[in-house]
Structure 1
Amino acid sequence: MDQTLMEFHRGSRKTWRRRQVPSPCGKSCLQEKLRVFCSLPTIAANLGPVDTRERLIPTIADLVSNAIDAGDDEVLLAIAQKLKGFADLVGGKEQAACLLPILEKIICCVEEIVVAQAACDALVEIIPKLPQEVVEEKCMGMIRRILEEDFYYASRKVTTKLITTCYPLVSAKFQSDLKYLVSDNQRVVRAACVGPLVELGRMITDGSEFDSSVRPCIDKLASDTARDSRRAMASSITNLQQVACSFDNPSRSLHQIMINLLEDNEVETRRIATSQFKEFCLVSPQSILLTVLLPQLREHLFVEQEESVRAELVRCAVALLPSIRREDSLPLVQHILSFLNDSIAQSKQYVFQHFSELVALMPTNEVQLTLLPSLLRLWQDKNWRVRLGVVQSVPCLYPSLPESCVRDIVLPANLAWLRDPSWYVRECACRSLARLLRVFPSLCKEVLNGVGQKAAAAAAAAVAGQSQVPNATSLTPAASGAGASSSTLTLNNSTTNTTPAGNPTSLSGQSQSIADANNPSSPNSVTGLTNSSFSVNASNSALNSINALTAQAAAGGLKALATDSNYHLRQIYITAVQTIWGPGIPDESPYSATGENPDMGICLPGVRNAYNAVSSKPTGPVSVPECCQPPPQLPGTHLSTCASQLLRLAADDVVANVRICSVQALQLVSGGLDKKFIQKEVVPVLKKISESDSDADVRFYALESMTVFGSV
């Protein structure tokens, strides 16, 4: 590019020299050009308005022409970005029109959308500073030329932004000319019109003007045969509805367009429309919401076949519940809860995310008959997040259940959850068990010692029976193509031996357990639950495996975990004891359907606060820590039995992590222990461990625990 560009010499305000811009010679030359063009505002400011108009602007126009011929998009982009602030540099509103031809040429002659958009952005900054007659004469003429001539589609696409800029500045006769783009032959141009329509609608204050200027364009784009236009309409339908309803006339509502988008034959369009449904309902008139939108939502929850759309429908329906009246929400709640029987995990996870709010809206008599069986059946799901949702949600039902139901069905299932292959599920099951005892403290003996062989077999058969005939007791499936999930959790009996005491022993031995220690969701992390345990299998053998696990867990109770050969289960015993008899039951982290949980995999705030509370007040009872619920009120004899088991694990267990956890658990349960028991049993064992244990970490934590018990 052999052009000259006047540059101000910093040594003198009156002295100018000409600088020859080098010809293209590679990347270094391009960078030099761009550096010079970036200094255009500085040059113009030093030249003054008159010299800028008479000398610099013609030079820039020549540079633009040469750059277009050479295809230098980087140069054109730099010039367009700098011309944005030139309105005042050329003399203000009376002279800014001299910039329009340069920017129009860039828009019309460049195919690169980024360059055209930069030129359009510059015009958006300049046009409001022009007099009305200049806008009507030059800007409107420029828009018509771009729309009517056969330029690149990028030129027409970016012009949509100019329409909203010019609309409030021109008279009514010119406003009627701003409708060309919705009929453009390029689908990307038509799709780009949706955003400007929202801006135009917000500028209009008269309903009849909206009906004549904006509504026809909305209707045309909503029925467009190109999916790009319909997707763009679905993305902005809430903003358009807000504009349409701002004129206090329900007849202008766009609810029929929303319904058509929900029924679109293109999946992604339906998904985008569904994601907007909650906000659309909130900005719609109340009469439209109750008589049209909510019935349509219930219908689409039932008939939608596409998994991604169905999951989005559940998410939006659940999020909409707090915004509608209780009497209007009950039918919707029943539809949402039916997705516990859905075939995909994501729908179920969205239900679990808002489960407590849903249960609060459900009649009490339906909880035991319909909701509980569906939840217990889901423990067989192969997705560990679904199983976590079950374990985290069942405690919400405890206040609504009779003790007999909890003893016969819920307690055996809860004991079985302690043996889940996922560490997250097992840990959550410990807190669920503590909450069960808080509501039903009379079940403490059954929790610790089991319910007996016969009762355990009957309970396991009852739980398995819920799975065998789900339609007899559970919620109606959400959709014809979304029946009860067949993804079941089964046991590989060939890898598990059951001792007379009900304790599983792994044939792979302790070494395999240690190898899986760092994988909390490893199927091999708990004896008997292997990769083959997660299979899509609805056969009798699968039900028998679940039956066997539930019977084994219910018969052995919590104490069976303390002597299990798998050290993961021994750690779960320790966690359960410290949760039940500690200073408080830690609050659950909010369930996340998408897995975006910042507390997942780390120590819960309630657990940290419990340790801090015990350490800061070593003697006497400890108040309930922050982020915790009060612990269950249980007889002290049961705690003494569990504490003796903790002392045995702390002194004799072969795994150092188990010994460390036992010593720390003794700290947490110290507030409920008898002083005589502490002096006679606890302190001597801790002293021996601190002096003779082979592991330095175990000795350290034993000494730490002795500071808690030492002053007693």
Structure 2
Amino acid sequence: MAASDSTTDDSLYPIAVLIDELKNEDVQLRLNSIKKLSTIALALGVERTRSELIPFLTETIYDEDEVLLALAEQLGTFTPLVGGPEFVHCLLPPLESLATVEETVVRDKAVESLRNIASQHSPANLEAYFVRLVQRLAAGDWFTSRTSACGLFSVCYTRVSSAIKAELRNHFRNLCQDDTPMVRRSAASKLGEFAKVVEVEYLKSDLIPMFVILAQDEQASSDSVRLLAVEACVSIATLLQQEDVEQLVMPTLRRCTGDTSWRVRYMVADKFTDLQKAVGQEITKTDLVPAFQALLKDTEAEVRAAAANKVRDFCQNLDQFNQESIIMTNVLPYVKELVADPNQHVKSALASVIMGLSPILGKHNTIEHLLPLFLSQLKDECPEVRLNIISNLDCVNEVIGIQQLSQSLLPAIVELAEDSKWRVRLAIIEYMPLLAGQLGVEFFDEKLNSLCMTWLVDHVYAIREAATLNLKKLVEKFGPEWAQNTVIPKVLAMSRDQNYLHRMTCLFCINVLAEVCGPDITTKVMLPTVLAMANDNVANVRFNVAKTLQRIGPYLEASAVQTQVKPVLDKLNTDSDVDVKYFASEAIAGIAA
């Protein structure tokens, strides 16, 4: 009898432990126990998981949000642990409870898990269990359950009978007209997804009237409902014939384009190229071109920026036959105004895409109409605008050629590189490796190399420092051989400059070039200059020689360290200047280590 009792206690042990842990005041302990649920379920076996663990979890959903979130996530992967698809419906009760809690992230995770397990139900079980759950949530007293229901219609609709489908459409219609804005917002966000699985006849008769109602939602705080209706607009338009789009969708879309809420107009601008593809070329020409012009001139900067960001894609997607004339007549005049927009985010958004118009408009139009705009943007006071133009020069280069580019835009870049404001010069230095990669080594050597060397002797330290790092990036792009032929001779010549600051810049350059040039060039070409500078008459230069020798040590051939570097460091270690001695001893210790 005692043995039998012991066996019973052992078999109940995992549930008993779980109960104790879930009642513990420590949230972390409860969270850890939820994360071990799969292990506990494996220990219990599928029958006891179904008969004991799942009912227990259903009854104890009253915990901290963090614990409930972990539970909602775990249950979405539990199908094998309850015996497979045949028994997956037993996971619905705890997930249904989680789908009604107050915390949004928990509800969303519960809905995600319900969506995952919906496909694992047999058609009979789907109607008997899952659809009933959706209907209960959709008719729930609390708005939380009704918002969760919205995300579940599309995953079960296609696999149920016609009568059940009609019930589901009716429930969804009620949710679209719910008194609570949060429910309508959730319905609007799932309308496009639901539209994709509903038959076309019911799409026209049932869903489009709902779409029209949501897109005209005028209750307080309901611009969020209208802006979500814009997303649904894209999905619905792709499912309809052209004449149906004109009749059923366009009146609503026109209203959205001129909506009183800037957030709705922003959503239209953000989804504009998706809408363009959905409605087709004819409607684009008659309706979307004027709508795009209105968005580019919108009173709100956020809307103008979103529209500006779509300029290239919108133009690319235009009908090839009318493309150039529409751009030149209807788009470019508005783009020209945006180049001088008072808002830097608008200008930056435009600068990131405007170069993409070159391949569309061709060489003549680019030279005549676009280059002046690029030139203006290159001189913009906002660094991001300049960067976005320089980042996309290759688009223009392919269309008009390097010669035309150098005649038109390079003088502006050089002008910025020599600007009296050191921060402007600094910005151009940071773009130089990007520019070099786009223009190629031959063109760079001819037009910009001397500029990079000039920065090394700038009177502002920050410029000299940035110019040094710039050299390293250029060598990474063009290779050590290019460095040996083009850059290193000019750097080494600085070791003989009368200005000791320039001699120190020579050392700083060697510090970073050694990393990218390799042992052979560092030892044979650069090391002799460093060793010669150990005799410099300025102490600052001598102690920087010690620091440089330590820095480039790992990039030198081992024999050179022993025969050339160590004797020079030993000599510097007996220097009359205390700083030189200090850095020499540091270098000796560093190299030894």
TM band (smaller chain): 0.5 to 0.7
Gaps of 5+ in 1: 1-7, 449-556, 576-600, 623-638, 668-681, 708-712
Asked if the contact 1:562/1:569 (under 8 Å) is kept, the reply is yes
Matches within 5 A, 1:358-377: 358-361=357-360
Q: What letter corresponds to residue 173 of structure 1 in structure 2? A: A
Does residue 56 in structure 1 map to residue 49 in structure 2? no
1:310 and 2:304 are equivalent in the alignment: yes
Aligned to 1:221: 214
Q: Distance in 2 between matches of 1:105 and 1:687?
A: 77
Q: CA deviation at 1:353?
A: 2.7
Distance in 2 (CA, whole Å) between partners of 1:360 and 1:122 is 47
Q: Does 1:652 align with 2:498?
A: yes
User: Which one-letter code corresponds to 1:188 in the other structure?
Assistant: M
* 1:653–1:659 CA contact under 8 A, matched in 2: no
Q: Give 1:196's match in structure 2, choosing from 164, 181, 190.
A: 190
Note closer, same or farther for the CA distance 1:369–1:440 as it changes in structure 2 (3 Å cut).
farther
SS of structure 2 residue aligned to 1:177 = helix
Change beyond 3 A, Cα 1:413–1:364: farther
Residues 582-602 of structure 1 deviation map (CA, whole Å, 9 limit, x = unaligned):
xxxxxxxxxxxxxxxxxxx86
What is the distance in 2 between the residues matched to 1:126 and 1:359? Answer: 50
Q: Any residues of structure 2 matched to 1:55-94 within 5 Å, and which?
A: 56=52, 60=55, 64-65=58-59, 67=60, 84=76
Question: AA paired with 2:194?
Answer: L
Shift of 1:82: 5.7
CA contact (8 A) 2:316 2:360 kept: no
Call closer, same or farther: CA 1:141–1:298 in 2, change over 3 Å: same
TM-score of the pair, normalised by structure 2: 0.65
Please, which of 24, 27, 33 is the counterpart of residue 25 of structure 2?
A: 27
Deviation at 1:155, TM superposition (A): 0.9
- Cα offset, 1:189, TM superposition: 1.2
Q: Tell me which residue corresponds to 1:244.
A: 237
In structure 2, the gaps of 5 or more residues are: 515-525, 558-593
Q: Classify 1:321/1:272 alpha carbon distance in 2 versus 1 (closer, same or farther; 3 Å).
A: same
Q: 1:94 to 1:22 in 2, by over 3 A?
A: closer
Q: CA deviation at 1:126?
A: 5.2
Q: CA separation of 1:230/1:258 partners in 2, compared to 1, >3 Å: closer, same or farther?
A: farther
- Give the percent of matched residue pairs that are identical in Structure 1 and Structure 2: 18
Contact between 1:650 and 1:663, CA under 8 Å: does it hold in 2? no
Distance in structure 2 (CA, Å) of the matches to 1:665 and 1:98: 65
* Aligned mates of 2:38, 2:311 — CA distance in 1: 55
Q: Partners of 1:11 and 1:19 in 2: how far apart? A: 14
Deviation per CA, 1:488-513: give whole Å up to 9, x if none: xxxxxxxxxxxxxxxxxxxxxxxxxx
Q: Could you list the per-position Cα deviations for residues 309-355 of structure 1 after superposition, in whole angstroms to 9, with x for gaps in the alignment?
A: 21221111134444444524444345324422111222222333345
Q: Find out whether 1:272 has 2:293 as its counterpart.
A: no
CA distance in 1 between counterparts of 2:462 and 2:22 reads: 70
For 1:280-359, list aligned pairs within 5 A.
Answer: 280-301=275-296, 303-324=297-318, 325=320, 326-327=323-324, 328-331=326-329, 332-359=331-358
Higher relative contact order (CA 8 A, sep 6+): 1
Is the contact made by 1:267 and 1:309 (CA closer than 8 Å) also made in structure 2? yes
| Counterparts in 2 of 1:315 and 1:115: CA distance versus 1, 3 Å | closer
8 Å contact 1:647–1:662 — kept in the other structure? no
For the 8 Å contact 2:308–2:350, the answer to whether it is kept is yes
Deviation (angstroms), 1:182: 0.7
- The residue identity in structure 1 corresponding to 2:290 is P
Q: 1:355 to 1:156 in 2, by over 3 A?
A: closer
Determine the C-alpha separation between the residues in 2 that align with 1:87 and 1:562: 66
Q: 2:258 pairs with 260, 263, 267, which one?
A: 263
Sort the Cα spacing of 1:696 and 1:355 in 2 relative to 1 into closer, same or farther, 3 A: farther
RMSD, aligned CA: 5.6
Letter in 1 for 2:270: S
Task: Tell me if 1:185 matches 2:179.
Answer: yes
What is residue 208 of structure 1 aligned with on the other side? 201
Higher relative helix content: 2
Q: Matched residues in 2 for 1:651 and 1:429: separation?
A: 28
Q: Which amino acid aligns with 1:202?
A: K
- The aligned counterpart of 2:423 is 421
Contact 2:31–2:67 (Cα < 8 Å) also in 1: yes
Aligned to 1:148: 139
- Hey, what does 2:160 align to over in structure 1? 170
What corresponds to 2:587 in structure 1? Answer: none
Shift of 1:78: 6.5
Give the match's secondary structure for 2:167: coil
1:370-405 C-alpha deviation (Å, 9 max, x unpaired): 6566555566644333455677789968744897x9
Deviation of 1:156 after TM superposition, in Å, equals: 0.8
The Cα offsets for residues 292-322 of structure 1, whole Å up to 9 and x where unpaired, read as 3233213321x21211221221111134444
Superposition pairs of residues 76-115 of structure 1, within 5 angstroms: 84=76, 100=92, 104=96, 107=99, 110-115=101-106
Report the 3-state secondary structure (helix = DSSP H, G, I; strand = E; otherwise coil) of the residue aligned with 2:423: coil
- Residue matched to 2:536: 692
Q: For residues 78-131 of structure 1, what are the alpha-carbon distances to aligned partners after superposition, in whole Å with 9 as ceiling and x for unaligned?
A: 6666655666766776766566556545555x4344554555455445555555
Partners of 1:156 and 1:181 within 8 A in 2: yes
**Given residue 270 of structure 1, which amino acid in structure 2 is its aligned partner?**
R
- Sort the Cα spacing of 1:132 and 1:45 in 2 relative to 1 into closer, same or farther, 3 A: farther
Please give the alpha-carbon distance, in whole angstroms, between the structure 1 residues aligned to 2:421 and 2:255: 48
Deviates more, 1:376-385 or 1:304-313: 376-385
Asked if the contact 1:333–1:361 (Cα under 8 Å) also holds between the matched residues in 2, the reply is no
Letter in 1 for 2:536: S
Q: Which range moved further: 268-277 or 421-430? A: 421-430
**What is the distance in 2 between the residues matched to 1:75 and 1:437?**
59
Contact conserved, 1:238 with 1:279, CA < 8 A, in 2?
A: no
Aligned to 2:102, the other structure's residue is in SS state coil
Q: Within 2, Cα distance between the matches of 1:439 and 1:177?
A: 70
Output the amino acid matched with 1:210.
L
Q: Which amino acid counterpart does residue 56 of structure 1 have in structure 2? A: E
Corresponding residue number in structure 2 for 1:489: none
- Return the alpha-carbon distance in structure 2 between the equivalents of residues 690 and 646 of structure 1: 14
Mapped partners of 2:391, 2:116: distance in 1: 55
Q: Distance in 1 between matches of 2:69 and 2:154?
A: 23
- In 2, distance between residues paired with 1:663 and 1:112? 59
Q: SS state of the match for residue 214, structure 1?
A: helix
- Are residues 228 and 317 of structure 1, via their aligned partners in 2, closer, same or farther at CA, if it must alter by over 3 Å? farther
Distance (whole Å) between structure 1 residues aligned to residue 126 and residue 440 of structure 2? 73
Q: Which amino acid aligns with 1:241?
A: V
Quickly say closer, same or farther: Cα 1:663–1:128, change in 2 above 3 A. closer
Q: Do 1:340 and 1:348's aligned partners in 2 also have CA atoms closer than 8 Å?
A: yes
* Matched AA of 2:167: D
Q: Deviations over 1:20-44 (max 9, x none)?
A: 8459875249936973895488458
| TM-aligned CA deviation for residue 415 of structure 1 | 7.0
User: TM-score if structure 1 supplies the norm length?
Assistant: 0.56
Equivalent residues of 2:115, 2:152 under 8 A apart: yes
Deviation at 1:368, TM superposition (A): 7.0
* Distance across 1 between alignment mates of 2:512 and 2:105: 62
Give the C-alpha shift of residue 261 in structure 1.
Answer: 3.1
Q: Give 2:151's match in structure 1, choosing from 155, 158, 161.
A: 161
Distance 1:263 1:84, change over 3 A: same
